Structure 1
Amino acid sequence: MKYCILLFFMFFGIILLAQDKQPVSRKQLDTTRLEKSLKNIPARPQEGAEEITIKNYKIITHDRDTTYLDTTLTIQKEYRYNYLRTDDFELMPFSNVGQPYNRLGANLDRIQLYPRIGATARHFNYEEIEDMKYYNVATPMTDLFFKTTFEQGQLLDALLAVNTSRRFNFSIAFKGFRSLGKYQYSQAESGNFRTTANYITRNGRYQFRAHIAAQDIIGEENGGLSEKELQFESEDPQFSDRSRLDVNFTNARNKVLGKRYYLDHQYALVKPQQDSLGRRSTSLTFGHTFNYETKYYQFQQDAQQDFFGSTILSPIDDKATLKTFTNQVAVNFSNRLLGTLSGYASIYNYDYYFNSILITENQTITNRLQGEEISLGAQYEKAIGNFKLKGNGSYTLAGELTDYFLTANANYKINDKHSIGASLHASSRLPDFNYLLYQSEYENYNWQNDAIFDKEQVSSLQFDLASQVWGDLSIKYSVLNNYNYFASTASSEQIEAGTENAFVRPFQAGNSINVLKVKYAKEFRYRKWALNNTLMYQQVDQSGNILNLPQLVTRNTLYFSDDIFRKAMYIQTGITFKYFTSYNMDAYNPLLAEFYVQNREELGGFPMMDFFINAKVRQTRIYLKAEHFNSSFTGNTFYAAPDYPYRDFVIRFGLVWNFFS
């Protein structure tokens, strides 16, 4: 009843707000929702500009792909309205915001040339260099993202982008949240500060872009439920209050903290000229990239717990630190006929360390891995009519971490409704540093494998079809050699005693693993109704159950869209159904902040249904969702990982607000 009252007052307030606004004139209703939103932006022409539209608010990615601010309300915006602000179709979230995500899809291609610190389960919200965005705006622009969390906290992501002139733009942003969670000792919080700047001189010869990022991600760890069969799966009413369920411990927490300073600048020795058709002539540019980043992962526990085995010292305070320093110089040649070719050389220094050296009867485990990597690379890009080709490759001349890295993709636009593409990836490098060296106060969490593990090799080939008529189809085939993973060596008796996590260690597969992934998306529309469908099929060929994935994942959304209140408000409302077949879902280890392979129980095979009502008033998008509303009548079998339940039915709301000055 209280949820119904909340819904009534919320949308009654929205109606009053919408009625207070002047209706949009018929002239302003363009054929697309995007063009409709442009008309409401206050225009303040500068430096001779005749008119300012939404296309003057540009967003530039690390790869220099440029889009512009989108203030429309679409079903894709609904999918991206979450903690990560990206579509999480291939992820399975834990019960609380900011906790880890289990994987439903195989994303095996390397993004970075060098190994990372590890603790990947705590890095989903960590913004890497490739995630940073730069802005080129006509007037100051603000983006505010707000969403409620689970008990005693909120989620806010605020960004301000400003230009002092057309040539200099900067932004400052902070994303922070806190959420207590429904289960004991599951509080999570984080803060992501980032600021960017980009500049080009009046003559266009020199330009730079830079950013600073300071991020911390903190979470309490409870080890999962200790009596899940009796308290959770039994559906006993006395445990409907999830804070009453027993957990394995209430005295542990982990943290990821990182700071990064990045600069990319270049000077045009031969400045390109444009002809009357806007085509650019030959240019020659020299560039330099600098990056310095410090990061540490820390696990703390007030006292020893049998869950992780025996200890050397107590209380537990494990801390792994990684410092990296990159210098890269590049030469860029661009020609209208030959395309754009870049050659670069980079020096990468790394220092991964702990604060002690461990000496045992059998071995000595050092406290540090450090060294220098020297690599050469090249990039190429060319467009011939509707055909585009792009590639990037590098080869390590000196160093122990990597061998090579190659990505290439080709795309052909058949017409305005159809395009096809193909991409290739190949890489060879050592796994993340926590596979190679780790130290802990817990005895079984000490190892050194840098001289034992071979480089992991990933090769993949992907074909894509994007069609407004037939839908979007992606087929990807990947081959893994020397695949690295975490697993437990615990016996059945040790698992029964609840000490499976005490025997988790890194391993390397001896045989190849082949993965086929087929993903299809298509929306069917009838008047004001639409059915949006995404289907993914995966098949893994391997000698042992090492890479476990669901064979089928589906998401289907039936929704209704329309203008209301004399077209002053646009709404979308519907139901989303998500389902994945049962499989041996990876288990979570809170000490390492990593998932590990387990084959003792299958999880999944349960539906997740959400009801949503979203509205748009000018540049404000309002979101209201009843998440997993079927949890009370489909049984307590919903898990995000062994011993870690998925969230119960909850109503959450928020907004995204863009305003300009």
Structure 2
Amino acid sequence: MRIFLFLSILSFSCFFSQRSQINKIDTKVSNTSQSDTIIVDKGRKDSLKIFKPTINDYQHYTQFSERKIFDTVFTIDKSYQFTQYNNQDNFGKIQFANIGSGFQDLMFHVNKEQNLALLPTRKSHFILGIDDVKYYDVKTPTTSFIYHNAMKQGAALKTTYTQNVGKNFNVALEYMGLRSQGVYQRELASSNNFILSSRFNSKNNRYRFFTHYIHQNVNNEENGGIEDLSLFLGDDTRFNNRQNLAVNLTSTDSRFSYRRYYFSQEFQFV
């Protein structure tokens, strides 16, 4: 009986001590939470910032042009642009049968860059000049892919990656690859464009620079036209496939390669 009474007193004392300890812990936690709340009220701010970008936060422009929205969404007003394999407005130009074979100008224009004027007009459309290189201003890292089907075999793909490092400095990397077999013999077209560009604006917008590195090559198989036009205009079903039509030149091609290092800086006193 004494042993049972002793065990009962011992268990009750242990329970009371644990309960009081729990109460002390709860009180301590409660006091801590209250003190933290007081510190927050005194001016401690959370470093987390919520950014909600809009389409106007993504822009591109050339060195001497106005800013435009960097938007690749296919809409009605941009159908004339993104239906072309080079993603440009080709008004006033006639495209050849195979993409990558060039354009024939219908309007006269002066090429501002003398080194590009030395190229044949048909090929000069693929070589990007200084005023054709785009610079970007984006609030978040941005990537775009634009894909076009080619004639017979191949494809045209343009990809862009750009990112702002800080608020006033941007770096962009662009690549365009094209390969198209064509519908006639000796009409294979292939090209590669690689651009690394960067731009910087000072905080007061008085100083800025533009720089880029570009490497391009344009390679085309050339033919001298169909040997016998009667086969093209006739009703012979053997020549419904235009690859069966014989051409005048069978071992001719053209190769152009272009590389440029560019740096330009501006400073405004006022």
The corresponding residue for 1:178 is 179
The corresponding residue for 1:406 is none
Q: Secondary structure of 1:64's partner?
A: coil
Shift of 1:245: 0.3
The corresponding residue for 1:16 is none
1:109-140 CA distance string (max 9 Å, x none): 32416462222211212111111110010001
1:549-586 CA distance string (max 9 Å, x none): xxxxxxxxxxxxxxxxxxxxxxxxxxxxxxxxxxxxxx
Residue 117 and residue 111 in structure 1: after superposition, are their counterparts in 2 closer, same or farther (change >3 A)? closer
- Structure 2 residue 245 is the aligned partner of structure 1 residue 245: yes
Gaps of 5+ in 2: 1-46
The corresponding residue for 1:263 is 263
CA distance in 1, matches of 2:232, 2:140: 53
Residue 87 and residue 203 in structure 1: after superposition, are their counterparts in 2 closer, same or farther (change >3 A)? closer
The corresponding residue for 2:21 is none
CA distance in 2, matches of 1:68, 1:49: 23
1:278-335 CA distance string (max 9 Å, x none): xxxxx1xxxxxxxxxxxxxxxxxxxxxxxxxxxxxxxxxxxxxxxxxxxxxxxxxxxx
- Greater helix proportion: 2
- Structure 2 residue 220 is the aligned partner of structure 1 residue 219: yes
CA RMSD, Structure 1 to Structure 2 (Å)? 2.1
Shift of 1:66: 0.6
Shift of 1:71: 4.3
The corresponding residue for 2:96 is 94
Shift of 1:72: 4.1
Shift of 1:206: 2.8
Q: TM-score normalized by structure 1?
A: 0.32
Residue 196 and residue 47 in structure 1: after superposition, are their counterparts in 2 closer, same or farther (change >3 A)? farther
CA distance in 2, matches of 1:191, 1:227: 34
Identical-residue share of aligned pairs (%): 29
Give the partner amino acid of 2:238: Q
CA distance in 2, matches of 1:224, 1:101: 16
The corresponding residue for 1:231 is 231
- Greater strand proportion: 1
Shift of 1:162: 0.8
1:189-211 CA distance string (max 9 Å, x none): 00011111011234544321111
Q: Secondary structure of 1:210's partner?
A: strand
1:37-68 CA distance string (max 9 Å, x none): xxxxxxxxx99785321101111123131111
CA distance in 2, matches of 1:267, 1:231: 65
Q: Secondary structure of 1:238's partner?
A: helix
CA distance in 2, matches of 1:94, 1:248: 18
CA distance in 1, matches of 2:166, 2:65: 20
Residue 120 and residue 109 in structure 1: after superposition, are their counterparts in 2 closer, same or farther (change >3 A)? closer
Q: Secondary structure of 2:225's partner?
A: coil
Aligned counterparts, 1:326-365, within 5 A: none
Gaps of 5+ in 1: 1-45, 271-282, 284-661
Contact (CA 8 Å) 2:104, 2:121: kept in 1 or not? no
The corresponding residue for 1:318 is none
Aligned counterparts, 1:308-457, within 5 A: none
Find the structure with the greater CA-based Rg. 2
Contact (CA 8 Å) 2:138, 2:162: kept in 1 or not? yes
CA distance in 1, matches of 2:194, 2:155: 17
Q: Secondary structure of 2:122's partner?
A: helix
The corresponding residue for 1:134 is 135
1:451-504 CA distance string (max 9 Å, x none): xxxxxxxxxxxxxxxxxxxxxxxxxxxxxxxxxxxxxxxxxxxxxxxxxxxxxx
CA distance in 2, matches of 1:164, 1:265: 19
Q: Secondary structure of 1:154's partner?
A: strand
Give the partner amino acid of 1:211: H
CA distance in 2, matches of 1:222, 1:213: 29
Give the partner amino acid of 2:252: A
1:369-393 CA distance string (max 9 Å, x none): xxxxxxxxxxxxxxxxxxxxxxxxx
Residue 247 and residue 190 in structure 1: after superposition, are their counterparts in 2 closer, same or farther (change >3 A)? same
Q: Secondary structure of 1:243's partner?
A: helix
Contact (CA 8 Å) 1:175, 1:191: kept in 2 or not? yes
Shift of 1:90: 2.0
